[in-house]
């Protein structure tokens, strides 16, 4: 990257917005001018970047003059409303919301899996769902080698996937429960402390949730293979950061667990954490704040001929959102 870029962060005061700023700083992204954009609620706020304070500006259709790259994490409705204005102003937008993910004109990109799709952009590149990103990072090298026919995945998703208010509520519920005090869930339909909720987002007509169907459609689009069958169950768990997934796959060609481990050892963005006899396997507390997708418990599925099971963990705010978007910006 030889030149410096004018970068706008849309949704700068949110959890992912803050993570954008941290990662841009850590990776020394070549920034000429930085613009922080948020809603009316953030009026008067300022955020620190590279030791300097930047005022948060209110997002409008005129916010994008002279901007080269927009990193957006302000929700689907705002992306739909404002990103066309950014494209019109000449910016390339990397959108973390669900707004454009399944749009045929918009590439859906995980840099370790389908970097070539970036070239097809017409001003907007979509960042996939957090739970999809970590799964495809782990499965792409296996798909390349043995062609995946079917994926059955159960996710164990941290509360931060639903935003800061849900993080705060888990804290409050846990404290109240331990103090034997009553509490009424506000951000969740039921108690989340010491409980699991087998629902993330709304239920669709087929009795799957929107989150589960996102994993189905996004996986096929990123892997560039509509023949892959995907069955997902998404569960919210009382963990603050990092999503975990139990992933079972059936491949067209046989691949042993050892061959899969060899592929994962060399795979970009993957860290193999797999020595079960010494109790070494990935956990959410190991992934928090880390860039890599951690993979362990790789084993043969003994119920079918060409099957593998594995356990996949990643920080949903970093790799599942902000880092993936910035890696796309670096490739741009």
Instruction: Give mean pLDDT, residues 201-228.
Output: 98
Total count of residues recorded for the chain:
332
How many CB atoms lie under 10 A from the CB of residue 74? 26
* CB-based contacts of 151, cutoff 8 Å, min separation 6: 135, 139, 219, 228, 229, 230, 231, 247, 248, 249
For the purposes of burial, counting CB atoms within 10 Å of the CB of 249, is it exposed (0-12), middle (13-18) or buried (19 or more)?
Answer: buried
Kind and range of the H or E run holding 251: strand 243-251
DSSP tag of 59: P
* pLDDT value, residue 1: 46
pLDDT level of residue 172 (50, 70, 90 thresholds): very high
CATH 3.40.50.720 in the chain, residues?
5-127+322-331
Instruction: Give mean pLDDT, residues 165-174.
Output: 97
Q: What percent of the chain has pLDDT over 70?
A: 99
* CB-based contacts of 286, cutoff 8 Å, min separation 6: 273, 294, 313
d(CA 113, CA 121): 16
pLDDT tens column, 70-129: 999 999 999 999 999 999 999 999 999 999 999 999 999 999 999 999 999 999 999 999
Res 220 pLDDT > 70: yes
Res 210 pLDDT > 90: yes
pTM: 0.95
d(CA 293, CA 273): 10
3.40.50.720, 1.20.810.10, 3.30.43.10, 3.40.630.30: CATH of 5-127+322-331: 3.40.50.720
3-state secondary structure of 248: strand
Instruction: Give mean pLDDT, residues 260-276.
Output: 98
d(CA 284, CA 294): 9
Asked whether 174 and 193 are in contact (CB, 8 A), the reply is yes
CATH 3.30.360.10 in the chain, residues?
132-316
- Which residues are known to be catalytic? 130, 243
List the CATH code of the domain at 132-316.
3.30.360.10
pLDDT tens column, 269-307: 999 999 999 999 999 999 999 999 999 999 999 999 999
Q: How many C-alpha atoms does 231 have within 13 Å on its Cβ side?
A: 6
pLDDT tens column, 30-65: 999 999 999 999 888 999 999 999 999 999 999 999
Average pLDDT, the chain: 96
* pLDDT value, residue 278: 98
How many CB atoms lie under 10 A from the CB of residue 145? 15
Instruction: Give mean pLDDT, residues 177-190.
Output: 97
d(CA 261, CA 201): 33
* CB-based contacts of 88, cutoff 8 Å, min separation 6: 64
Q: What percent of the chain has pLDDT over 90?
A: 96
How many CB atoms lie under 10 A from the CB of residue 206? 8
Q: Looking up tokens 């079972």, which residue turns up?
A: 248
Relative to beta strand 5-10, strand 148-157 is unpaired
Q: Looking up tokens 């927009």, which residue turns up?
A: 70
pLDDT level of residue 2 (50, 70, 90 thresholds): low
């Amino acid at each position: 990257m030889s030149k410096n870029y004018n970068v706008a962060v849309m949704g700068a005061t949110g959890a992912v917005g803050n993570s954008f700023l941290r990662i841009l700083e850590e990776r020394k992204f070549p920034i000429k001018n930085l613009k922080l954009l948020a809603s009316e609620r953030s009026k008067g706020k300022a955020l620190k970047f590279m030791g300097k304070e930047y005022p948060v500006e209110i997002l409008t259709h005129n916010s994008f003059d002279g901007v080269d790259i927009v990193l957006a994490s302000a929700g689907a409705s705002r992306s739909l409303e404002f990103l066309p204005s950014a494209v019109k102003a000449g910016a390339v937008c990397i959108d973390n919301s669900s707004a454009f993910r399944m749009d045929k004109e918009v590439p859906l990109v995980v840099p370790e899996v389908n970097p070539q799709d970036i070239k097809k952009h017409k001003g907007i590149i979509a960042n996939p769902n957090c739970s999809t990103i970590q799964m495809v990072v782990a499965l792409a090298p296996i798909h390349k080698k043995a062609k995946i026919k079917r994926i059955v995945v159960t996710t164990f998703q941290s509360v931060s996937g639903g935003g800061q208010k849900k993080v705060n509520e888990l804290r409050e519920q846990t404290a109240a429960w331990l103090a034997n005090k009553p509490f009424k869930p506000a951000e969740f339909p039921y108690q989340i402390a010491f409980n699991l909720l087998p629902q993330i987002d709304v239920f669709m007509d087929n009795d799957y949730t929107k989150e589960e169907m996102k994993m189905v459609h996004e996986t096929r689009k990123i892997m560039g293979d509509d023949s892959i069958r995907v069955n997902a169950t998404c569960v919210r768990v009382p963990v603050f950061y990092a999503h975990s997934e139990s992933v079972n796959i059936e491949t067209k060609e046989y691949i042993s667990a050892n061959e899969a481990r060899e592929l994962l050892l060399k795979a970009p963005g993957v860290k193999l954490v797999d020595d079960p006899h010494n109790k070494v396997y990935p956990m959410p507390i190991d992934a928090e704040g880390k860039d890599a997708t951690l993979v362990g418990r790789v084993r043969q599925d003994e119920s079918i001929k060409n099957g593998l099971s594995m356990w996949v963990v990643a920080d949903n705010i970093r790799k599942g959102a902000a880092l993936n978007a910035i890696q796309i910006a670096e490739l741009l």
